[in-house]
Structure 1
Amino acid sequence: MTKNLLKVFNEKWNSYKHRFIPWIAINLRKNERTLRKVKEGSQDKLVPDEKVAASLLKLFRDLLKNDLGRKHTVLHMLPEPSRNAYQSPQSAVMPFKKLSRHHDPCELMLDSLGFCIERRQSSLKNAGTGVFVTMGMVPKGATVAMYPGTVYQMYEPIFFQSLGNPFVFRCIDGVLIDGNDKGISKIVYRSCSGRDRLGPFSLSDITWLTACPENPLAVGQYVNNCSNEKAANVYYQEFDVPEKFPLELRQYLPNVNYGHNTQLPLRCVVLVALRDIDSGEELFSNYYTIIH
């Protein structure tokens, strides 16, 4: 009997994709409304990586253009063609320090992607913070948020960081992302982010650890699980940052590898819209995904 129970649990664990620990126990009871099922791992990705990358690049370029006054050191290090692409004719003849065209990231997101998301009190009872579309409309298939945090390979230590931590996300291949913005998780992320720099170029974003992230997409860890009353309108999709991703735009990626010498691409997880999502709606995902 015990062996059979262990076998059943092991099968469930191996087919369980996202390791938000509290949701394992809840969904062992087969709450079908909050399950997401796909036939195999390759079918879990509904939007091509190229489309995800295009959305991120569009927003990140606009974020950099919006903040030239503070990013002048980075701009000066770029080749002239790349530098000119970020500068308007007016900014090209003005000293960087005198540029004052900074706009709120949420407003910039609206102009760049056609919608804006923000953290607010969830519409679900006792659910704490949630994420809402506050302006514009999210079209089906759009990248609507990112899941930030430190990326751990299967062989890397995460035990102490995972204790009492409901923000540990398990990817389909066993890679883990710790999206907790408090305690030891916060300390580890800051340490790894400070370690990985190339001169003036930061390779990751630490502002998601604050109340005012520079990348407004980096609030995906606050998206709540769907319920019987609130169906999922977004899903998680894994995205490996391509090697050709512009160096100057990596400062907006809210993820960092725990291991310094890893040769693997940086793993990111984005949340993609399952349908059109209107302004005022809260985002809901599936914390529990079964790969058959």
Structure 2
Amino acid sequence: MRDFLHRLYPYQALKLMFQRVRLIVVKPNTPIGHSPPLCQDSQPFDPDWARSQLVTLFRALKHTCKEHGHTNHGRLGSIRRSILHQQLGFHLEIGPSRIQNAGLGVFLRGHRIIRPGSIVAMYPGTLYRPGEAIFFNSIQNRYILKCNDGVYVDGKAKGLSGSIFRSANGRDNYPGITPTADTTWMMDWNFQHSKKAAVSGQEVPGVTRIGSVLLKNPLAVGQIVNNGTKLFPPNVRYQELDIRARECPLDLQEFLPNIWSSGDWHVHDHDHDSEAMEDVPVDWSEHSRNYLRTVILITTKHIEEDEELYSTYIEENSFM
């Protein structure tokens, strides 16, 4: 019953309504005519800036892969960590969450303070347009996000969800063409963590961590970020971000950790399209068939060294 309620839309809608009511209540001492202060996570967001940040990071990672393609995996991982530091000022590590019985969590390492509004992760997974079948892979699946326009993102790497992502990736990325999606995010993080703990001989929970530099795209760990609690309040939020083919060069699209379950997004908007189409309003009734939907996680407050990331599953913002 608990899992059913977690996925029951009326229940979640009612929960969201009461949450919003609590957020806008004005305190008794608030002067008449004055609005309550905005929440920290209501700061402006620039989608063009976000796309530029991601493309710059992908370009640096691509350059690293070309220069050190034959380097051993450990060496390549340290190089990717260095790239992440240069571009964003931190790297991510996976380890036991500070929330009891929450499994693994994502930690920011190697920085002093990360400011609000910074990109710290991406939410990978298969994308479903409204009306597409998602029932069977939604059973016992807590990794599905629903976007504001009805698009779903399934970030589960195992079972039916994982098979669907690999199948869609094989459809769009057959041998001989430039890859347009990343599948390295689908690794078994629990296995990797156990393996490192066994090698290092550390059995104390919370000590052993593994870096996200094992991934082609080190930011693709949003599905591991835990939901915040009263003791550990949220410090990041989900942000929808759509990317067109011309906004991310073809040779960099191998770092994108999302894929549509049906249809290749390059079919309707390729780099050769006329620039005159820039001024044509987008028909959102087609749910952006010429876009790739991504969901990034951005900070809502200052985050200090070695702090764990916590999100809120009940909130998401849309900026195209």
Give me the TM-score of the superposition, normalised by structure 2.
0.67
Bigger mean CA offset, 168-177 vs 61-70: 61-70
Give the match for residue 196 of structure 2.
none
Q: Does 1:241 align with 2:243?
A: yes
Identity %: 35
**Structure 1 residues 23-38: aligned runs within 5 Å:** 32=19
Per-residue displacement from partner, 1:153-192 (whole Å, max 9, x unpaired)?
0121111111110101100011000000111111110111
What is the RMSD computed on CA atoms of the aligned residues? 3.1
Q: Does 1:102 align with 2:76?
A: yes
Give the match for residue 163 of structure 1.
139
**Per the alignment, in what secondary structure is the counterpart of residue 241 of structure 1?**
strand
Q: Which among 169, 172, 179 is matched to residue 202 of structure 1?
A: 179
- Closer, same or farther: CA 169–190 of 1 in aligned 2, 3 Å: same
- Closer, same or farther: CA 65–116 of 1 in aligned 2, 3 Å: same
- Closer, same or farther: CA 276–256 of 1 in aligned 2, 3 Å: same
CA distance in 1, matches of 2:118, 2:293: 19
Contact 1:235-1:272 at 8 Å conserved across structures: yes
**Structure 1 residues 201-220: aligned runs within 5 Å:** 201-210=178-187, 211=189, 212-220=214-222
Q: Which among 36, 48, 51 is matched to residue 50 of structure 1?
A: 48
CA distance in 2, matches of 1:282, 1:118: 9
**Structure 1 residues 1-292: aligned runs within 5 Å:** 21=7, 32=19, 46-68=44-66, 102-104=76-78, 105-136=80-111, 137-197=113-173, 199-210=176-187, 211=189, 212-244=214-246, 245-261=248-264, 263=268, 264=289, 265-289=291-315
- Closer, same or farther: CA 44–243 of 1 in aligned 2, 3 Å: farther
- Closer, same or farther: CA 110–126 of 1 in aligned 2, 3 Å: same
Contact 1:36-1:286 at 8 Å conserved across structures: no
Q: CA deviation at 1:106?
A: 2.8
Contact 2:68-2:76 at 8 Å conserved across structures: no
Amino acid at match of 1:115: F
Per-residue displacement from partner, 1:252-276 (whole Å, max 9, x unpaired)?
0000010125541110000011122
Q: CA deviation at 1:26?
A: 8.1
CA distance in 2, matches of 1:107, 1:289: 32
Task: Give the paired residue count.
Answer: 242
Per-residue displacement from partner, 1:58-108 (whole Å, max 9, x unpaired)?
21111111110577xxxxxxxxxxxxxxxxxxxxxxxxx699983433332
Amino acid at match of 1:166: R
**Per the alignment, in what secondary structure is the counterpart of residue 165 of structure 1?**
coil
Q: CA deviation at 1:231?
A: 1.7
Per-residue displacement from partner, 1:208-251 (whole Å, max 9, x unpaired)?
00143211100001111111112211111000012311101100
The runs of 4+ residues in structure 1 deviating greater than 4 Å are 22-33, 97-101
**Per the alignment, in what secondary structure is the counterpart of residue 217 of structure 1?**
coil
Give me the TM-score of the superposition, normalised by structure 1.
0.74
CA distance in 2, matches of 1:286, 1:29: 13
CA distance in 2, matches of 1:44, 1:250: 30
- Closer, same or farther: CA 261–181 of 1 in aligned 2, 3 Å: closer
Contact 2:127-2:153 at 8 Å conserved across structures: yes
CA distance in 2, matches of 1:241, 1:261: 13
- Closer, same or farther: CA 119–99 of 1 in aligned 2, 3 Å: closer
Give the match for residue 86 of structure 1.
none
Amino acid at match of 2:223: Q
Contact 2:119-2:296 at 8 Å conserved across structures: yes
